[in-house]
Structure 1
Amino acid sequence: MTLRLHGIPNCDTVKRARAWLTGQGLAHDFVDFKKAGASAADLQRWADAVGWERLLNRQGTTWRRLDPALQAEVVDAASALRLMQAQTSTIKRPVIEWPDGAVTVGFSPEAWGARCAAVTAR
């Protein structure tokens, strides 16, 4: 499996993550949420791996601009996944699918360095 990074190209965190991977010499596929969307199966797999609460970006502009009634409807995994599929900007970025099958959300050079060392040691 190839390292796959999911996100939005103009997101600063995604830009930093992509630059870090390139700087480490790590090849990766980039999947643009805006163009490709996020399938229900992908969202379910990611939520199973990290939890829907971590996957849902409640700090972002898209969430803050949602109608409060729509925000209030997000009470469990099913409602969160429906929202994330309809509005991919509510997915925390980046979502990484690592070659070992693990899924992580967000960018941390320290955590990624340790994960990359573990993956390449195999």
Structure 2
Amino acid sequence: MLTLYMIKNCDTCRKALKALDSRGIPFKTHDLREDGLSAALLEHILHRVPLVEVLNKRSKTWRDLPQADKDTLDSNSARQLIMQYPTLLKRPLLENGNEIRVGYREGDYDDLKG
């Protein structure tokens, strides 16, 4: 079964939910705020998707970080920041077996079958 990692008030996540629902594709959701983000889950995601692809540098959370945190960013500090601020993950993340798709645009899920 597919898993959609998301945040409920994210517009792009809501579009992804509608796309999956409209295709009758069974999936479960994991809200990164409500259900949390464990270190194990973060490593699970990063095993499938490079850190640079999931770190959301366009988010308000990123913009609000102290400049020193951004300037000294490495893979370890990025992991710590994501654990502290799950909204630094790009969303949604759709897990399908060993693949995780990052983000959503219209038509991204057209190849999925219900």
1:77-116 alignment to 2 at 5 Å?
78-98=76-96, 100-114=97-111, 116=112
CA RMSD in angstroms comes to: 1.5
Equivalenced residue count is: 114
**Cα deviation 1:75-100 (Å, max 9, x = unaligned):** 22x221111111001110011111x3
More strand by share: 2
> Could you say what secondary structure the match of 1:89 adopts?
helix
Q: Which runs of 5+ in 2 are unaligned?
A: none
> Could you say what secondary structure the match of 1:4 adopts?
strand
- Is the aligned partner of 1:28 residue 2:27? yes
- Residue 38 of structure 1: how far off its partner (Å): 1.1
Q: State the partner residue of 1:44.
A: 43
Q: State the partner residue of 1:55.
A: 54
**Cα deviation 1:48-68 (Å, max 9, x = unaligned):** 211000111000111001111
Q: Is the 8 A contact 1:95 1:103 kept in 2?
A: yes
> Could you say what secondary structure the match of 1:112 adopts?
coil
- Residue 28 of structure 1: how far off its partner (Å): 1.3
* Cα distance between partner residues in 2 of 1:10 and 1:19: 14
Q: Which has the higher relative contact order, 1 or 2, with Cα contacts under 8 A spaced 6 or more apart?
A: 2
Q: State the partner residue of 1:71.
A: 70
Q: Is the 8 A contact 2:13 2:92 kept in 1?
A: yes
TM-score computed with the length of structure 2 as normaliser: 0.90
More helix by share: 1
> Could you say what secondary structure the match of 1:29 adopts?
strand
Q: Is the 8 A contact 2:56 2:89 kept in 1?
A: yes
**Cα deviation 1:88-115 (Å, max 9, x = unaligned):** 01110011111x331111113433222x
- Residue 24 of structure 1: how far off its partner (Å): 0.7
Q: Which runs of 5+ in 1 are unaligned?
A: none
